Structure 1
Amino acid sequence: MNKNRVTITDIASELNISPSTVSRALKDHPGLRKETKDAVRALAEKWDYQPNLLALSLLHRKSNTIGVIVPEITSHFFSAIITGIQDVVGKSDYNIMICLSNESYDEEVVLVKKLMNMQIDGVLVSTSSETENFDHLRKLQKNGIPVVVFDRDCPGLEADKVLVDDYSGAFQAVEYLIATGCKNIAHLGGPLNLSTTGHRLNGYLDALKKNNMPIREEYIVHVPGFSHKDGSKPAKKLIQLDNPPDAIFAMNDNIAISAMHVAKKMGLRIPEDISILGFDDEPHSSFFTPPLSTVWQPVYSIGMLSARILLSHLNSPDTVLEYRKEIFIPELVIRSSSKAN
């Protein structure tokens, strides 16, 4: 054999039989003699024959592959979700293909088109921070490809959704800060068009309203992204106000940790001078000094449930499609970056 990749035709030529006979032998067709099947299998193993999955997907219009589109993969949040997805899908006949949009709507649209061209069977997606139009996801659905949206909602898109009650998590966090005596609570919010940003902002606002506390526009600053560097300037802007906050509720843990770093550099004590509370409960958050108070999300379970819902559609393609909307409730985790109640 001189070729890099062994084909059914190569095996057929060596054994002086037809390619269709080789194909049936590899599928253990009952109409073939045992001697023929044994000879085909032995040579296939010797030559390390691997089926051409791309060719099979084009033939059968089915790839046995699920596309997973995420904004990024470096954070614990999305890596844990992907682990949950893999742990479910890995027990099925399907594989997963992970695609990164890098928080870009244009890149997300390109990825969807590529997945469709590859005869993808289903898609799990957490949209980018730029995505406001969901026509590319509707196109998947129109082509019979089921879509499950997780983490970031897509308002107006009819699809299965696995989300977290961000409003509840934010409301709990701000109510706790109020209960510990904080009077001037600021919010470092995320990009404005994200559903999670709006839900957490509303939770913050409603907690203040419920407790008859004033809402100050200067206390609400939105960050451009979710990394540590994205939170530094907005946090400094808040702390340098003439009437600075005595607490900051941040969109996520990375932004909260940026605020802690800035506060320390500006000579503030945490939590004596300023309480800081994040969202996500990233594993590293408990190792900072002081350890970060935050809101825990069941990220692994989000991945598992999203995968199970998609597989239920793929395994029962003839059933009437009924969309599910599952919402997890987050929990407050209190550490030393906020005052004790």
Structure 2
Amino acid sequence: MKKGRVTLKDIASKLKLAPSTVSRALNNHPAIGEDTKKAIKKLAEELDYQPNPMALGLLQKKSNTIGVIVPEITSHFFSAIITGIQDVIGPSEYNIMICLSNESYEEELTLVKKLSKMRVDGILVSPSSATKDFDHFRRLQNNDVPVVVFDRDCPGLEADKVLVDDYSGAYQAVEYLIRSGCTKIAHLGGPLNLSTTKHRLQGYLDALEKNKVPLRKDYIQHVKGFSHKDGIKPTKKLLELEDAPDAIFAINDNIAASAMHVAKKMGLAIPDDISIVGFDDEPHSLYFSPALSTVWQPVYSLGMLSARILLQRIKNTNSNEEFRMEVFKPELVVRASSREDSVGISD
């Protein structure tokens, strides 16, 4: 026997059978006798025969593979979502292929094309921060490849979506800062085209308006990315204002950590001089000094539900069932980086 991957032809040659007979026997075709099936399966096991998934995919017009496209995987946020997805997909007949767009629209396009060529059975996607057009997802749908959008919305795209109420989370955070006595609240927002950025900004604005806190446009700065370094310059710009803010609500915990770093370097005490609140409740936020107040999101559940919806959609590709829109509610987690609620108003 030759070295390398064992093929159907190798098994057929050993047993002096046609490769088509071997293939049918391994797939329990009723036309093949039981004795022949047993002999073929026994030899296949002895030779450690492994079916070629790509070939099976072409034959069955499916790959038993689900593509997952995320902007990055280094944060707890997306790794927890992927864990939730895997815990649902793992026991099923499907495998998952994780792809990183690195917050690039062009890379996202390339990934979609590659996954389409591989005949994936469905795609779970959180679009990049640079994605403004969603035609590449529509093309997948037109080719009967179901798409489930999670975390970041694709406005105008008709698809199953699993999101978090970012507006509510931001509103809770800013109203809490107001109740704690802060009157000059700044916002470090994310890239402008992201749905999460827009919803959290609106929550910030509405909380100020409802509580009659004056809005200052120079208190709103937007970061270009979500890493720690992206928050440094925008925070300096805020804290170097003549009438500097006494609180910062940040788009995520990484940017909040940047704000804490800059504030400390400028000699400010947290939370006595400035309160800081993040978003995401990354595990390490608990171990900041002081521990970071933040907005918790049920990210594991978000991943699980997204996967369940996609599996259901794959099973009912031809159904006219309406697309689902599921929205999780976040919760404010108060720690030491923000002042205590001095008003005592309950939510």
| Shared fold per TM-score greater than 0.5 | yes
Equivalent position of 2:327 in the other structure: 327
| Amino acid across the alignment from 2:222 | H
| Residues 8-87 of structure 1 aligned to structure 2 (within 5 Å) | 8-87=8-87
The secondary structure found in structure 2 opposite 1:249 is strand
Secondary structure at 1:307 match in 2: helix
2:231 partner letter: G
- In 2, the alpha carbon distance for the partners of 1:133 and 1:316 equals 27
**2:233 aligns to what?**
233
Taking the aligned partners of 1:115 and 1:58, their CA distance within structure 2 comes to 14
* Residue type of the alignment partner of 2:112: V
**TM-score, normalised relative to structure 1:** 0.98
Counterparts of 2:71 and 2:8, CA distance in 1: 40
Deviations 1:143-199 (A, max 9, x none): 011110000000111111100110000000000000000010000000011010000
Cα distance, 1:100 vs structure 2: 0.6
What secondary structure, in the 3-state scheme, does the structure 2 residue paired with 1:68 have? Answer: strand
After TM superposition, give the deviation of residue 133 of structure 1 in Å.
Answer: 0.4
Per the alignment, in what secondary structure is the counterpart of residue 187 of structure 2? strand
Please report how far the alpha carbon of residue 43 of structure 1 lies from its aligned counterpart in structure 2 after TM superposition: 1.5
Quick one: which amino acid aligns to residue 262 of structure 2?
A: V
Distance 1:100 1:163 in 2: 19
Distance in 2 (CA, whole Å) between partners of 1:147 and 1:184 is: 42
Q: How does 1:38-187 map to 2 (within 5 A)?
A: 38-187=38-187
Q: Distance in 1 between matches of 2:134 and 2:34?
A: 54
Alpha-carbon distance in 2 for matches of 1:29, 1:61: 18
| Structure 2: runs of 5+ lacking an equivalent | 342-347
Amino acid at match of 2:27: K
SS in 2 for 1:58: helix
Q: How many residues align?
A: 341
Query: How many Å apart are 1:58 and its aligned residue?
Result: 1.4
Give the C-alpha shift of residue 46 in structure 1: 1.6
* Structure 1 range deviating more: 30-39 or 73-82: 30-39
Please report the TM-score for the alignment, with normalisation by the length of structure 2: 0.97
Between 311-320 and 290-299, report the one with greater CA deviation. 311-320
Give 1:340 deviation, angstroms: 0.8
Pairwise mapping of residues 184-199 of structure 1 onto structure 2 (< 5 A)?
184-199=184-199
- In structure 2, C-alpha distance between the alignment counterparts of 1:162 and 1:121, rounded to whole Å: 19
RMSD over equivalenced CA pairs, Å:
1.0
Question: Which residue number corresponds to residue 243 of structure 1?
Answer: 243
Shift of 1:31: 3.7
Once the two structures are TM-superposed, the CA of residue 316 in structure 1 deviates from its matched residue by: 2.3
